[in-house]
Chain A
Amino acid sequence: MSIEFEGREVAIQPGDSLAAALYRDGVRVFSRSFKYHRPRGLYCLSGDCPNCLVTVDGEVNIRACQCAAKAGQVVSRQNAWPSVDRDALNVIEKMHPLMPVGFYYKTMAKPKFAWPLAEGVIRRVAGLGFSDKSDAPVEIDRVNRHPDVLVIGAGVAGLSAAIAAAEGGKRVMVIDEQWTPGARVAAGPTKEAIDRLAATAASNPGIEVSSGTAAIGIYEGPMVLALADDHVAHIHPQAIVIAAGGMEVHRIFPNNDLPGIFMGRGAARLAGAHGVKPGERAVVWAEQPEAIEHARTLIAAGVVVEAVITAPGVDASGVGNRQIEGSIVEAKGRKKLSGVVVKTTGGATEEINCDILAIGSEIQQNMHLPRLIYDLPCILTGDSAHPGSSLSEAESNGREAGATAAAGLPLYVNPPASKPRTCGTAGYVCLCEDVSVKEVEQAIDEGFESAELLKRYTTVTMGPCQGRLCADQLRAIAERKTPSEAARVSAPTTLRPPVRPIQVQQAAAGARHHIERHTPLHQRHLEMGATTLWAGPWKRIFSYGDMQAEYEAVRHRVGVIDVGTLGKFLLAGPDVVEFLERIYPMRIADLEPGRLRYGLMLEEGGVIIDDGTVCALEGGAFYCTVTTSGAERLESWMLDWREAWGLDVFVVNQTASLAAVNVAGPHARDLLQKLSDDPLDKETFPYLRHRRITVNGVSCLAIRLGFVGELAYELHFPAAAAVDMWDAILEAGKEWDIRPFGLDAQRLLRLEKGHIIISQDTDFETNPWKVSMEWAVKLDKPDFVGKAALVRAQRRTPRETLVPWQMEPGMATPPEGMTVTIGGNLAGRVTSSKMSYVLGHPVGLAWVVTEHAKEGGTITIGGAPATIAGHAFYDPEGVKLRA
């Protein structure tokens, strides 16, 4: 079993991470640092630092220590040229004194041409890996889980909490980012405790342990976003126990970033969990007792521990060749560690040669998850609550947390207030962005005195580690430099999701779809060769291939269009008339059953938001239609008003349950009469009336409207009958060579009539006055939505007015969206334009500044003259639609 690493084969063993396999093979430099291209080796082995970011199978920035080695993987290191081992860009480090923090801000500001020249180079040098340009997303599953209690972290505290919660009768889910619980813990008492608790948890049917599943974020709900190997989980628990553990504090001293320097747990992990000997001669810095375990692990792996450097009170007796009370003040070496300088408690300094330094420093909380809690039902336990807990403390504390979660007791906890760390006076604060203590101090001297400003100016905490290592150190430096303002300058910076990196395609799991609504006739249209276009969430029919033929059929014979996408509402109830009087600006109360009215819908500012028809039904109910794109929005809009006014009205959305077709053209009546025994003649069923009639054996609400300017019947009927009805109409219409028509033809037909389309011809400041629709507004009504604004607007001349325009025959039709000019000055814009077949010249609608919006006036559209018309171009008297 092997992987391919930069052109050669590297053997892997079961349980290996990529980091372990490569380290065993002799790789010591895993990356080059972001800015100065300094060599960097393994450090934390917990996914907390940026040092082992590699490219795997074309995917950049994979943490080698967190990635399971799998046979056949192609792995390479990043951010170096020509190679990580021999990085020519390392010369940047030699320029270090010339490139202080904020270097780019301070240079090349002048002369103006300098920066554009430099920028290309800087962009190329920045960034880490080369991403695969042929990448394409794959679909990733998203699952929803609903445990009673979610425990994050399968360590001693987490497993104890899970067991206690399950004993309390709860269904418990435990997630942990390791492959198995305790996978990265070296043999010893901690490992034994985890193994014992994991076995207990596994035998409890109320507990599900999902290993290899990382918590990415805690969001309102609560909802925990979790990432597993092959899916993304949305976990919706009643309570969350955070047992995310702790980590050793990043210690800062000169050369603290040299390969060979490990966090204590990292070195122990490599030696004890992966069986890879980290080096030959080690120094262990033991600030707390757990580090003594790490020293023992290293010794067991065959490493000579030259010295254990202890903090006061830590007992290292018998471990390592020497025990020195003191601290490490400097690391020695150029490309890798060659020794450390120890300062004893007594003040003496001594240099000890070694190739490994394991820093078992003070344990701090893994802060990221706890800081996302806000007011959510979470409880912290183990190192998340009490960093540096002993095993027995972690176990009892975990049980307590689990029992509290199971009891559903108030769980809100304040995120722990972390304190600024002690921080050395030299060395690298930030490994991600290569920022030293000196640079941070210099930034403070420049005035960037608070942690938040330092973060942005120096970019400390803004790299891949997201401040895990460096955030508290940054605060410490700020506090040290400006002690008088400590509270302000060292306030913690904000932490945000994701806690662990998540791919863009993983974040999109389950969301990569668009709602596309179809009418029941959609398949029929496609079979007839229709092309479609978006209309809100609907796919509507643009044309069946010959727009002019469709148009001619309607104007001269008969055509049919699917208008099933219209929003359709049945309104009823004791207050229905009052309700409609308030949401429509026209009169409703006098509308007798069988009659209908065109209705605008306005928002409070008097702006037109929709239009449609209102039919008064027998028995006091009303049937209202709204535009295709408006249905969903207007349903909630109406319901909002209903609640606001407290009126007793039912609003039933029938958009999907009813189909609708419009049969239009001089022969529309002849056609329908073939399919219906009900009287359709002009006297019984005139224009602007509706009747319930039976067509093709189906009861329909038939509405006589005139959007396209011809005799027309709009039929509304149950969706299940749609296909039969459509086929029957087309069959019955054969004798007049019927054509189905699409939106393209409909848009021309209505444009010739001068009818507007809301949102195409109107914008979000269009009120009825501006589109000459005073007739649709009754200001003498007591009130309606938008009335107050319209009364105000009536006192002013609108800046622009919508007018119809036409061009001479033979002129090209300007596209919609063209500007209108008068005397070379901007004077408006074209909202609709088409070549009129019946007139033989282009026609359209345009907004024109009101002073020039006069019938007969000349405007210029795209360099060509056009004349403002005064009325509908086609059948201005409306004779045809009243036929």
Chain B
Amino acid sequence: MKKSYDVVIIGGGAHGLGTAYYLVKNHGLKAENIAVLEMNYIGAGGSGRNTTIVRSNYRTPEGIRFYERSMELWRGLSADLDFNMMMSNLGHFTLAHTDSSVRVQRERAETNKLLGVDSRLIFRDEIAELCPELNMSMDIPYPIEAALYHPPGSVLRHDAVVWGYGSQFSMRGGHIHQGIKVTGIRKDGSGKCIGVDTNQGPIDAGIVMSAVAGWTTQVTDMAGIRTPITNHPLQAFVTEPVKPLLHKIIVSANLHTYISQTDRGEILIGSEIEPYTTYSMRSTNTFLEHSTANALDVVPLLARLKIQRQWTGYCDMTPDFSPIMGKTEVDNFLIDAGWGTWGFKASAVCGETMAELIGTGRTPDLIEPFRLSRFAEERLVPEKAAASVSH
């Protein structure tokens, strides 16, 4: 570890490593002058705990453009990094079981279409044909009425993203330090950020970027910055692997469940964030009960599959369900946060845009709407209807 770097990135997840990679690749920064500091092991946080869905059928034009760019990057990323992300283009269904949900999904479909995203509202007959595993009975409390169908929706191996970016950055000479905890943000007399303190000593830096998602409030506290972020746990589970059973990515907004089958054959099921805030990563049985009950309402044939493992991650939620990216009131301290339940699918575009910000000093148009100051300016980017549950 050197005593000084041009850029120090806190957080060795997909965002931090992606940013480091694109800084070298797109902006010609010297890899050996960039350090990624990870307090645990790379990908230990949200990057390795999410449910691996990527999609761009968001609600606002700002969100749609941003995630659509991410989709473009995902499609080429395996080749770009020479590391197979195992992207599976299964197609993504957001089921609607109530008339208000149909209204929301139609709004998304229409806005998506207008902005060139392949997304449409489909109804019962077409749903049954495209996804015969679904429970199409009308004689249940929440019959499926319609679905937002997003054919490009895919899953990919989340760890591969971390490793792909990490290995390319590392091969070019970049510094990834694991097991190092940042304990302070150093500032000079004018309040400008000049580096970080760590449990292994201080490091000087021209630019410090925080890409720590669920740990954001701890880092921003060190920097003396306030954000409207609250930290909620989000849980998921997988079943033991079985032969191909479910061929689409299924999300139910009303029943707070999302279901897909991995390349390895496990059925992966997730839910809504827990309503309480905590920094505990303990799993709960309440989650298991409700997520299984809701999943069975939608896909009954999962009944006798065996649950193999449940786990928990953190979600740094923002009031408008959009991220917080870019410059802050502390010069040379940049933030990439507010990743709630939508961080993984954005990791490619985040790396690219944050690298552009660092490399050029200018905030790219794609992330300008996500600036921290928007909360004070009342310029929210309301993605609640599209982001919650629909991971």
Q: Which residues of A contact B43 (CB under 8 A)?
A: 453, 456
Tell me whether B282 and A374 are in contact (CB under 8 A).
yes
Min Cβ gap B308→A in Å is 6
| B26 at interface by CB-CB < 8 Å | no
Tell me whether B285 and A223 are in contact (CB under 8 A).
yes
Q: Which residues of B contact A498 (CB under 8 A)?
A: 307-310
Task: Give the one of B103, B178, B376 with max A CB within 10 A.
Answer: B103
Q: Which B352-391 residues have a C-beta within 8 angstroms of A? A: 376-380, 382, 384-385
Tell me whether B98 and A534 are in contact (CB under 8 A).
yes
Contact of A496 among B106, B243, B290, B311 (CB under 8 A): B311
Q: Which residues of B contact A464 (CB under 8 A)?
A: 240, 308
| A144 at interface by CB-CB < 8 Å | no
Min Cβ gap B200→A in Å is 12
Q: Which residues of A contact B179 (CB under 8 A)?
A: 485, 488
Please report the C-alpha to C-alpha distance between residue A533 and residue B295 in the assembled complex, in whole angstroms: 22
Tell me whether B105 and A505 are in contact (CB under 8 A).
no
Please report the C-alpha to C-alpha distance between residue A220 and residue B75 in the assembled complex, in whole angstroms: 42
Please report the C-alpha to C-alpha distance between residue A799 and residue B62 in the assembled complex, in whole angstroms: 14
| B11 at interface by CB-CB < 8 Å | no
With contact pairs A447-B167, A457-B163 given, residues A225 and B285 touching in the complex (Cβ less than 8 Å): yes
| B264 at interface by CB-CB < 8 Å | yes
Q: Which residues of B contact A220 (CB under 8 A)?
A: 282, 284
| A61 at interface by CB-CB < 8 Å | yes
Q: Which residues of A contact B290 (CB under 8 A)?
A: 511
Please report the C-alpha to C-alpha distance between residue A127 and residue B246 in the assembled complex, in whole angstroms: 12
Tell me whether A826 and B114 are in contact (CB under 8 A).
yes
Please report the C-alpha to C-alpha distance between residue A463 and residue B241 in the assembled complex, in whole angstroms: 8
| B61 at interface by CB-CB < 8 Å | yes
Q: Which residues of A contact B102 (CB under 8 A)?
A: 817
Tell me whether B141 and A108 are in contact (CB under 8 A).
no
Min Cβ gap A142→B in Å is 9
Tell me whether A115 and B78 are in contact (CB under 8 A).
yes
Beta-carbon nearest neighbor of A503 in chain B: B304
Q: Which residues of B contact A511 (CB under 8 A)?
A: 289-290, 292-293
Tell me whether B84 and A115 are in contact (CB under 8 A).
yes
Please report the C-alpha to C-alpha distance between residue A453 and residue B42 in the assembled complex, in whole angstroms: 8
Q: Which B212-238 residues have a C-beta within 8 angstroms of A? A: none
Tell me whether A133 and B382 are in contact (CB under 8 A).
no
Please report the C-alpha to C-alpha distance between residue A112 and residue B83 in the assembled complex, in whole angstroms: 12
Q: Which residues of A contact B320 (CB under 8 A)?
A: 764-765
Contact of B304 among A123, A135, A497, A819 (CB under 8 A): A135
Please report the C-alpha to C-alpha distance between residue A488 and residue B44 in the assembled complex, in whole angstroms: 13
Tell me whether B245 and A133 are in contact (CB under 8 A).
yes
How many of chain B's residues have a CB under 8 angstroms from any CB in A?
A: 91
| A821 at interface by CB-CB < 8 Å | yes
Please report the C-alpha to C-alpha distance between residue A152 and residue B18 in the assembled complex, in whole angstroms: 47
Please report the C-alpha to C-alpha distance between residue A792 and residue B290 in the assembled complex, in whole angstroms: 41
Please report the C-alpha to C-alpha distance between residue A426 and residue B346 in the assembled complex, in whole angstroms: 41
Q: Which residues of B contact A826 (CB under 8 A)?
A: 61, 111, 114-115
A94-132 interface code vs B (CB 8 A; 1 in, 0 out): 000000000011111111100110010011101111111
Tell me whether B378 and A792 are in contact (CB under 8 A).
yes
Task: Specify the main secondary structure of chain A where it touches its partner.
Answer: loop
Tell me whether B111 and A819 are in contact (CB under 8 A).
yes
| A330 at interface by CB-CB < 8 Å | no
Q: Which residues of B contact A130 (CB under 8 A)?
A: 242-243
Tell me whether A763 and B84 are in contact (CB under 8 A).
no
| A137 at interface by CB-CB < 8 Å | yes
Tell me whether A134 and B301 are in contact (CB under 8 A).
yes
Please report the C-alpha to C-alpha distance between residue A513 and residue B178 in the assembled complex, in whole angstroms: 46
| B190 at interface by CB-CB < 8 Å | no
With contact pairs A127-B264, A452-B41 given, residues A817 and B307 touching in the complex (Cβ less than 8 Å): no
| A514 at interface by CB-CB < 8 Å | yes
A493-519 interface code vs B (CB 8 A; 1 in, 0 out): 010111001111101111111101000
Q: Which residues of A contact B377 (CB under 8 A)?
A: 796
Please report the C-alpha to C-alpha distance between residue A811 and residue B101 in the assembled complex, in whole angstroms: 25
Tell me whether B107 and A116 are in contact (CB under 8 A).
no
Please report the C-alpha to C-alpha distance between residue A200 and residue B379 in the assembled complex, in whole angstroms: 72
Tell me whether B263 and A131 are in contact (CB under 8 A).
no
Tell me whether B41 and A507 are in contact (CB under 8 A).
no
| A466 at interface by CB-CB < 8 Å | yes
With contact pairs A127-B243, A135-B304 given, residues A817 and B104 touching in the complex (Cβ less than 8 Å): yes
Contact of B78 among A109, A122, A793, A831 (CB under 8 A): A109
| B128 at interface by CB-CB < 8 Å | no
With contact pairs A105-B84, A450-B41 given, residues A126 and B308 touching in the complex (Cβ less than 8 Å): no
Tell me whether B244 and A829 are in contact (CB under 8 A).
no
Please report the C-alpha to C-alpha distance between residue A136 and residue B43 in the assembled complex, in whole angstroms: 37
With contact pairs A112-B76, A131-B304, A505-B303 given, residues A763 and B243 touching in the complex (Cβ less than 8 Å): no
| B197 at interface by CB-CB < 8 Å | no
| B183 at interface by CB-CB < 8 Å | no
Contact of A112 among B79, B296, B379 (CB under 8 A): B79
Min Cβ gap B340→A in Å is 14
Tell me whether A133 and B133 are in contact (CB under 8 A).
yes
B241-257 interface code vs A (CB 8 A; 1 in, 0 out): 11111000000000000
Q: Which residues of B contact A60 (CB under 8 A)?
A: 240, 242, 304-306
Beta-carbon nearest neighbor of B60 in chain A: A826
| B87 at interface by CB-CB < 8 Å | yes
| B81 at interface by CB-CB < 8 Å | yes
Beta-carbon nearest neighbor of B377 in chain A: A796
Min Cβ gap A493→B in Å is 10
Q: 6 pairs across A/B with beta carbons < 8 Å?
A: A104-B263, A220-B282, A220-B284, A450-B178, A466-B308, A498-B307
Given contacts A127-B243, A508-B292, A862-B110, 7 further A-B contacts (CB under 8 A): A60-B306, A109-B79, A128-B242, A135-B301, A496-B283, A496-B310, A819-B111
When A and B form their complex, which 3 residue pairs have the shortest distance between CB atoms, in order from nearest? A127-B265, A817-B106, A501-B306
